[in-house]
Structure 1
């Protein structure tokens, strides 16, 4: 099984291949299959145990979040890093090449309200011989980025930090959201590197990939001209319980006559088969403050709640989400979106 990603060293951003079609959709879920399985494993779900081999190599991933936090407080977590890996908790991780490894990527994800910091502890790679070690601020899968270029505060070129160019002058790199990743190539057996992953509080998390298929979250954008996305890599039911838009100095924003056209502050629900929210289909727009509930089922591989803010106001949206059950995908009813992105199971 392979996850597709863009190698920053490859001409034209060449991507690796993907595994053949199995029981999930033929696009995004095939490309993200490894990540989806491990994210489910992090919650102890048993639905996708066909990838038990990955979990067996690291049974710590199967612990619940409460137990993980308790163990984190007792001792630093250490383990070897694999060529293709996903990690959801702080610790020290060492990669040592047993054979030439040409296309490797490690995905890091933390709680929504945290930044991720990647620190180089030791690096032994041959930059002149073609090795590389790069930290990317966000995730990339098959050339699609999260956060999208429209939503991230930095241009794409500045989201890469290349060890072979900066060395240890930038020993620690901090992400702008709860996900980050490392691309690397190590060709000489015995060479490698050690990284320490830590997290810091993020008072106003903006762009988030959910660790879980179910939960509750509030996006708050205080007087900032930016777009914030909350991504759920599952078909999901979204229930919005509260939406506050356009409040400035106690004055409520005037409601537009029709739709959200021309409104600087609004929330939209997106669905699609890729990772980049800017390439997804807008399915609903909300530009009137209200107290819910308002709900919709979106049968897409990826479901996103996205807030667009002008920077003049304090905007807030609170919502609950849950993964759709198979029977809901087979026989949707009520307020649901099916035709754009239903993925057969």
Structure 2
């Protein structure tokens, strides 16, 4: 799924970054005035196109607002007070993010901080949502000023993570090393690319997994295998698929928190597709809910909607909410 990001995705992501709400919902404005949408798009492109050999350790300065898709060592050194900074990390769907503190020279008592978050925060909304993440929200924030050297390495639970930091004095900063780890059963993914295919498997574990695509797409489910199909006592619940304990749902919306998104369809019986739908939202999510009693599996593919398809969707729908077909 490697490749250049689509212009649509980059614009969406740039908008998200520049309207960032950080630190558990407290609104702060980015104070890096030199950052422009064009600069963010440029750094996203340069990061995605970079291919590194296994022997080479990539090193570069970390920006106050940054996006990192490659492994390497990154150093932030303040040349003036930087009071609202954030760096986003993203890997392939089957990767986890590992962040190691190599050095830190900050004044915690003076109000400086470095906080790593297990997931992303965009516009005040968190991915994965509290419903889908294995840890409570307070455990997903790791504060360097609180933990110090006792937690030099922090590993994400999915293919995205981020770091917030505030530094008051010029000359203060920190260095981190970012590596990627293989995740044999990916759960909760943000796609890097505007098109691709993926198979999500939940092997008899009681959890929810979401695959987020942050642009308007056509999504096509090729195959859905739910273990409850073999349960002869299974009956249709009056509460729909949610009452079965094992199901897949499609969600649409313009934010990141799946608990705030609108259900489009739910599927609780195995089938071989294709079943497809076009969704003209900023975010389309395929979410699998598993009771832990069965092995559940879904295979799907997706592609970016063309401009004429978006215009058709919007022309057929009078609602203010994002459109679908």
Short-chain TM bin? 0.7 to 0.9
- The answer to whether the Cα contact below 8 Å between 2:112 and 2:167 also exists between their aligned partners in 1 is yes
**CA deviations over 1:65-118 (Å, ceiling 9, x no partner):** xx62xx242411111100010111111000000110000000000010011000
- Structure 1 residues 158 and 57 mapped into 2: Cα distance closer, same or farther (>3 Å)? closer
**CA deviations over 1:191-210 (Å, ceiling 9, x no partner):** 10000000111000000000
How many residues are matched?
A: 302
Given candidates 20, 31, 46, the residue that maps to 1:5 is 20
Given candidates 317, 321, 324, the residue that maps to 1:341 is 321
**What is the rounded CA distance, in whole Å, between the counterparts of 2:263 and 2:128 in structure 1?**
16
- The answer to whether the Cα contact below 8 Å between 1:237 and 1:295 also exists between their aligned partners in 2 is yes
- The answer to whether the Cα contact below 8 Å between 2:219 and 2:300 also exists between their aligned partners in 1 is yes
- Structure 1 residues 55 and 342 mapped into 2: Cα distance closer, same or farther (>3 Å)? closer
Alignment of 1:133-282 (within 5 A): 133-247=114-228, 254=234, 256=236, 259-282=240-263
- Structure 1 residues 340 and 236 mapped into 2: Cα distance closer, same or farther (>3 Å)? farther
Query: TM (normalized to structure 2)?
Result: 0.86
Match of 2:306 in 1: 325
Superposed displacement of residue 56, structure 1: 5.0
- The answer to whether the Cα contact below 8 Å between 1:132 and 1:186 also exists between their aligned partners in 2 is yes
3-state SS of 2:18 partner: coil
**Which segments of 5 or more consecutive residues in structure 2 lack a partner in the other structure?**
1-14
Given candidates 96, 106, 111, the residue that maps to 1:125 is 106
- Structure 1 residues 56 and 243 mapped into 2: Cα distance closer, same or farther (>3 Å)? closer
- The answer to whether the Cα contact below 8 Å between 1:120 and 1:195 also exists between their aligned partners in 2 is yes
Q: What value does the CA root-mean-square deviation take over the aligned residues? A: 2.5
**Which segments of 5 or more consecutive residues in structure 1 lack a partner in the other structure?**
19-33, 35-49
3-state SS of 2:85 partner: strand
- The answer to whether the Cα contact below 8 Å between 1:299 and 1:338 also exists between their aligned partners in 2 is no
* Matching of residue 53 in structure 1 with residue 34 in structure 2: no
Query: TM (normalized to structure 1)?
Result: 0.81
